[in-house]
Amino acid sequence: MAEIEPSKENIQPLKGGRDAVKLVKALRLQNDPVKQEGVLAKERAQHEAKIHLYSGEDPLSPWLDYIVWTRSSHTTAGTEAHHIQLLEKCTRNFKDDLKYRDDQRYLKVWIMYADAVPDPTEIFAFLKANKIGVTHALLYEAWAMALEDQGKVSKADKVLEYGIRKQAEPKARLQAAYTRFQKRAVQRIQKQQEAGRIESKSTAGPGLSSRNDRSFGNPL
Amino acid sequence: MAEEDFVITLRGSAKLVAEFFGYSVHSILYQRGIYEPDTFVTLKKYGLRMQMSTDKKLCEYVNHVMRQLEGWLENGQVQKLVLVIATNKENDARERWVFDVGTDKAALQTGKVAGGVKQKTQKEIQKEIAAIIRQITSSVSFLPILETTCWFDLLVHTAQDCKVPPTWEETDPMFIADSSQVRLRSFNTSIHTIGTSVAYKMDQ
Amino acid sequence: PQQFNGVLAQSLLHGDGLKSKVLSFHSSPPNTNKTPTSTMRDHVDYNRSCQGSPKKGRVIQPTPLRILDAPDLVDDYYLNLLDWSVKDILAVGLRSSLYLWNAASGEIKLLVENPEGSFISALRWIQDGSHVAVGNTQNEVQIWDVEQDKMVRCMYGHSARVSTLSWNDHLLSSGSRDSMIFNHDVRVAKHHVGTLKSHTEEICGLTWSPEKGSLASGGNDNTCMVWDRRQTSSTTPVHTFQQRAAVKAMAWCPFERGLLATGGGTADRHIRFYNTQNGKCVSSIDTKSQVCSLVWSARNKEILSAHGFSMNQLTVWKYPTMTKVANLTGHSSRVLHTALSPDGTTVCSAAADETLRFWKVWDPEIKKRLEFNGVLNSPRIR
């Protein structure tokens, strides 16, 4: 904790929490950016080699290790432009692999990816159309949440209902999510009645395309 | 009490530690979102801006536990206080906030600090406590977000010979398998030493 | 103490189940009845869909006027790497380099290039825009003459990186990771004229009030302090405001004397308004995400906040009602710094996505900022 406290504002909270040991390691490296670059490049190369050389039964597993490493070795998402590219590559790589269609680990990678793009709902629609992860409650929960974030409450309601009808597992979890959703909907209506509303349109930023010839002041 | 007159006794130390536990429990419950944030009010304590619940039942519960703890602390019977956060349904523990308690043996006999031991001032103790509470607050930077409704329980680890009052019962320690652990700062009153740590379950 | 540690060690080693009983109180704590704030996202902002929507009224262009590349912008909350001069020059620190961007002509100049391994950690323009003060990770405070392109002073003394700077005529205040604030008189050879020492961790925010009577400082020790100009050296600030996270964002209100706005970090997330004359917190609002920077508009009586972990947005608020005027989104990582153009219309935001974005937020000030700032003549720096 003595090393976490001085840098607490540079640690992006993760939904699933952070491993304290890895966090301290990442923070130490951060104070030495030159060394950090070297260490990270080396570890990244190792992960990429592992994916490349993998010959076992579960080719997704080295990808998952790589993703976990990316998240835990960086204390904020901002420094890791590779992260979104990695998620993109991983999701694309297995999208036609029947073995992973119902694999929750694979679905989780998709959800992380959806979270990182401007409009996550497009990703979820794609998953449904391609029957990826459709047996999991998680898909409908994440999808509905994204819709709710965009203010599309009735669509979110339909997605949750659909998931329940399709008996996505675990059923109890989805049902609980639906109950919470309805509670929030009621609260929101109450709040909206208090304040007038006009939605400011959010603008999507340019994607993280690879910018090679970068220099300060280039118009983007 | 003037600063120079401050002499800590066993009883005073037990009171101070129990009070610290009480404020820590409120802080953790607020920080981890166990109860609605708007049921908490801000007040100043230990030179910090802290959150206290206004829920009558919750305050009664915490106060009761703290009163009991104070007695056990005076007898040197508390080994640790644990605040467990668990999910409502499955009852599985997600987080354990552990306050380890050490008691000076000589002080247990005489009721005061042994001669020759340097007395801490009230200010020094408060400063140490404030540092722990600050760390509890900043733990949001690495702890998982609790997505489902959770409840909490307070578990007291006591000496084996501790008499169990009628309103208390022996219970499961609710350990967390494969947990990640972070040690926070500690403080001591010259009689009691309190070590603080949090163990939590990662979800990747 | 020996004995004592022994007991502690024993309880640490054997506490778990061996020689102990685990007891709990019969009745359980009350049920929570709480609607859990569920989100699949990785941030603390679990409630954003419930936030109030911006109010009808003035429409602010939701897209930036311009986006500039800012490679290697360090993603560190505690630093201060962006400032806009009265002469319309924007200064930005990108790792070891300090660049100047002329907003009128678009001309770019590399002013400072630090040696390998040393980074720019703070920068701030002097009032008349002739010089820029630069702090670095080698614990130095440098002063650069931008017309002559050269360093005119290098001041030592801090024992850790210099994270924040603020000018008050000839007085330059510097805050450091060593938890101290130094006051430098840049006119004299013995520049170090005072030390303000009450913070216990890194200073990340430092700003003199418009009338130059008070200095506000914010630190990783979760406190914001207010010092009087007459206290050149001191260990007791006039006010100490406790918050729940680091305080970096701080801005003095340009139209209400003595009113200070502060923004809290990840565990705090509040914008708070303090009356520094009586030391009272006037009001506060939970923004649901890390606040990294604040900018006032005197003309519109509004305040803009820049946010970190969560939506990486800029929010424009009406003061004092704190109704939302607009949310400006587009940055794909957290917004770390902001700067206001000298005409008071445009906010530049620098984010961890390594871009600078320029947002046209306000109409030009009727009263020029120049006049408001009072003394404009630059001190003679030696």
CA distance A30 to chain C (A): 10
Q: Which residues of A touch B143 (CB under 8 A)?
A: 13, 17
Contact present, A214 and C69 (Cβ < 8 Å): yes
Bridge partners of C64, per DSSP, are none
pLDDT at position C346 over 90? yes
Residue B186 makes CB contacts below 8 A (sequence gap 6+) with: B128, B132, B193, B194, B195, B196
**C34 and chain B: CB distance < 8 Å anywhere?**
yes
Place of tokens 């308690």: B101
3-state SS class at A170:
coil
**What's the pLDDT score for residue C379?**
65
**C344 and chain A: CB distance < 8 Å anywhere?**
no
Bridge partners of C327, per DSSP, are C315
Neighbours of chain A (3+ CB pairs under 8 A): B, C
Q: Which two tokens stand for residue B123?
A: 């200010």
Residue from the list C67, C308, C326 with its beta carbon closest to the beta carbon of A200: C326
> In the predicted model, what is the mean pLDDT of chain C?
86
**What's the pLDDT score for residue C296?**
97
Q: What CA–CA distance (Å, rounded) separates A180 from C170?
A: 59
Q: C377 — phi, psi (to 5°)? A: -65, 130
Q: Which residues of B touch C37 (CB under 8 A)?
A: 33, 147
Question: Is residue C113 classed exposed, middle or buried when 0-12, 13-18 and 19+ CB atoms within 10 A define those classes?
Answer: exposed
Confidence of residue A219 (pLDDT cuts 50, 70, 90): confident
What's the start-to-end Cα distance of chain B, in Å? 52
- Mean pLDDT for the stretch of residues C125-147: 96
Q: What CA–CA distance (Å, rounded) separates C202 from C273?
A: 22
- The most distant pair of C-alpha atoms in chain B lies apart, rounded to whole Å, by 53
Contact present, A142 and A112 (Cβ < 8 Å): no
Neighbours of chain C (3+ CB pairs under 8 A): A, B
Question: Could you tell me the CA-to-CA distances from C276 to C181, C222, C302, C376 in Å, in that order?
Answer: 19, 18, 19, 25
Contact present, A70 and A80 (Cβ < 8 Å): yes
**What's the pLDDT score for residue C38?**
39
- The most distant pair of C-alpha atoms in chain A lies apart, rounded to whole Å, by 60
Instruction: Find the angle CA(C303)-CA(B139)-CA(C250) to the nearest 5 degrees.
Output: 20
Lowest mean pLDDT among A24-33, A161-170, B134-143, C227-236: A24-33
Q: What CA–CA distance (Å, rounded) separates C143 from C133?
A: 5
Q: What is the pLDDT of residues C257-296, one digit of tens each?
A: 999 999 999 988 999 999 999 999 999 999 988 999 999 9
Q: What is the pLDDT of residues A76-125, one digit of tens each?
A: 865 556 778 889 999 999 988 889 999 999 999 999 888 877 788 999 99
ipTM (interface pTM): 0.82
Contact present, C256 and C275 (Cβ < 8 Å): no
Q: What CA–CA distance (Å, rounded) separates C227 from C220?
A: 17
Question: Could you tell me the CA-to-CA distances from A23 to A30, A76, A135, C352 in Å, in that order?
Answer: 11, 11, 34, 19
H or E stretch at A114: helix A104-116
What is the strand order of the sheet C82-84 is part of? Answer: C82-84, C89-94, C97-102, C108-113
Type of residue numbered C217: S
Contact present, A32 and C74 (Cβ < 8 Å): no
Neighbours of chain B (3+ CB pairs under 8 A): A, C
To test the contact with chain C by mutation, choose from B34, B79, B120, B185 the residue with the greatest count of C C-beta atoms within 10 A, namely: B79
Contact present, C143 and C381 (Cβ < 8 Å): yes
Q: What CA–CA distance (Å, rounded) separates C41 from B55?
A: 30
Q: pLDDT tens, position by position, for chain B (204 residues)?
A: 444 556 788 999 999 999 999 999 999 998 888 888 778 888 888 878 788 999 999 999 999 999 999 999 998 999 999 999 998 666 788 999 999 999 988 888 887 776 666 778 888 889 899 999 989 988 988 999 887 778 899 999 998 888 888 889 888 888 888 888 999 999 989 899 999 999 998 875
SS (H, E, C) chain C: CHHHHHHHHHHHHHCCCCCEEEEEECCCCCCCCCCCCCCCCCCCCCCHHHCCCCCCCCCCCCCCCEEEECCCCCCCCCCECEEECCCCEEEEEECCEEEEEECCCCCEEEEEECCCCCCEEEEEECCCCCEEEEEECCCCEEEEECCCCEEEEEECCCCCCEEEEEEECCEEEEEECCCCEEEEECCCCCCEEEEECCCCCCEEEEEECCCCCEEEEEECCCEEEEEECCCCCECCCCEEEECCCCEEEEEECCCCCCEEEEEECCCCCEEEEEECCCCEEEEEEECCCCEEEEEEECCCCEEEEEECCCCCCEEEEECCCCCEEEEECCCCCCEEEEEECCCCCEEEEEECCCEEEEEECCCCCCCCHHHHCCCCCCCCCC
Q: Which two tokens stand for residue C273?
A: 């308004």
Q: What CA–CA distance (Å, rounded) separates C228 from C230?
A: 5
Contact C36 B48 (CB under 8 A): no
Residue from the list C5, C20, C34 with its beta carbon closest to the beta carbon of B158: C20
Q: What CA–CA distance (Å, rounded) separates A79 from A77?
A: 6
Q: Which of C44, C132, C42, C39 is nearest to C80 (CA)?
A: C132
Count CB-CB contacts under 10 A for residue C34: 15
Q: What CA–CA distance (Å, rounded) separates A31 from A148?
A: 39
Instruction: Find the angle CA(C141)-CA(C145)-CA(C151) to the nearest 5 degrees.
Output: 50
Residue from the list C75, C99, C117 with its beta carbon closest to the beta carbon of A78: C75
Confidence of residue C47 (pLDDT cuts 50, 70, 90): very low
Contact C266 A11 (CB under 8 A): yes
Confidence of residue C375 (pLDDT cuts 50, 70, 90): very low
Sign of CA dihedral B186, B192, B197, B198: negative
Question: Could you tell me the CA-to-CA distances from B175 to B94, B150, C370 in Å, in that order?
Answer: 9, 16, 63
**What's the pLDDT score for residue B120?**
81
**A4 and chain C: CB distance < 8 Å anywhere?**
no
pLDDT at position C332 over 90? no
Q: What CA–CA distance (Å, rounded) separates A209 from A191?
A: 39
Buried/exposed C292-311: b ≥16 CB within 10 Å, e otherwise: bbbbbbbbbebbbbbbbbbb
CA distance A219 to chain B (A): 34
Q: What CA–CA distance (Å, rounded) separates C122 from C114?
A: 13
**What's the pLDDT score for residue B204?**
59
**B157 and chain A: CB distance < 8 Å anywhere?**
no
Q: What CA–CA distance (Å, rounded) separates A72 from B198?
A: 19
pLDDT at position C129 over 60? yes
CA distance A204 to chain C (A): 5
Q: What is the pLDDT of residues C85-95, one digit of tens each?
A: 999 999 999 99
Instruction: Give me the numbers of helices (H) and strands (E) for chain A, helices first please.
Output: 9, 0
Determine the distance from the C-alpha atom of residue B129 to the mean position of all C-alpha atoms in its chain, rounded to a whole number: 11
> In the predicted model, what is the mean pLDDT of chain A?
83
Q: What CA–CA distance (Å, rounded) separates C247 from B28?
A: 21
Q: C289 — phi, psi (to 5°)? A: -150, 160
**What's the pLDDT score for residue B1?**
45
Question: Could you tell me the CA-to-CA distances from A30 to A35, B138, C201, C361 in Å, in that order?
Answer: 9, 19, 18, 35
3-state SS class at A135:
coil
Contact present, B82 and B98 (Cβ < 8 Å): yes
**How much of chain C exceeds pLDDT 90, in percent?**
71
**What's the pLDDT score for residue C187?**
94
**B143 and chain A: CB distance < 8 Å anywhere?**
yes
Q: Which two tokens stand for residue C141?
A: 């405070």
Between positions 96 and 135 of A, the ones with CB within 8 A of C are 111, 115
Question: Could you tell me the CA-to-CA distances from C191 to C63, C161, C164 in Å, in that order?
Answer: 45, 18, 17
Q: Half-sphere exposure (CA, 13 Å, Cβ side) for C366?
A: 5
Lowest mean pLDDT among C20-24, C27-31, C132-136, C187-191: C27-31
- Mean pLDDT for the stretch of residues A200-211: 39
Q: Which two tokens stand for residue A37?
A: 């670059």
Name the pTM for this structure.
0.81
Q: What CA–CA distance (Å, rounded) separates C132 from C152?
A: 10
To test the contact with chain B by mutation, choose from A3, A7, A8, A111 the residue with the greatest count of B C-beta atoms within 10 A, namely: A8
**What's the pLDDT score for residue C377?**
53
**What's the pLDDT score for residue C64?**
93
Q: Which residues of B touch C21 (CB under 8 A)?
A: 157-160, 162, 164, 170
Q: Which two tokens stand for residue C339?
A: 């700067």
Q: A214 — phi, psi (to 5°)? A: -90, 135
